[in-house]
Amino acid sequence: MKFTTGLIFLLTLGLSSAFGMTKEEFKESAENKIEMIEDKLETVEEKMAGASGETKAKMENAYEDLMDSKEELKEDLSEVSEDASEGYEDFKDEFSEGVAELEKKVDQLLNS
């Protein structure tokens, strides 16, 4: 299920220009994806609470890195304006890749 959700999101983002997704629709879709990642990070928190020792320390370090990445993506997304069209397609591609990479790392931490 996790893979399917991520794949659908990437296809949505990747095909957005072909289907005329506006910047606002892209932002809304991206915000929804970030919310899904935040939900997964809450699950990581729960998993960390049950861990101990070195395992817990490694998870905490990875979790902090993931939280930093998530916050950077949220900040990048908030800076996209409706007026900015130069570089927007590049931004969409880079943002989509960043979200996919973040979700992959979160899933790896959940499954470790």
Per-residue pLDDT of the chain (112 residues; tens, 9 = 90+): 344 444 444 444 454 443 467 788 888 899 999 999 999 999 999 999 999 999 999 999 999 999 999 999 999 888 776 555 677 778 888 888 999 999 999 999 988 8
The pLDDT value given to residue 81: 63
- CB under 8 A, 24+ apart: contacts of 39-46: 40/103, 40/106, 40/107, 40/110, 41/66, 41/67, 41/70, 41/106, 43/110, 44/106, 44/109, 44/110
The structural domains of the chain, ordered by start, are 2-110 (1.20.120)
Q: What does the pLDDT read at residue 83?
A: 54
Q: What is residue 4's predicted lDDT score, i.e. its pLDDT? A: 42
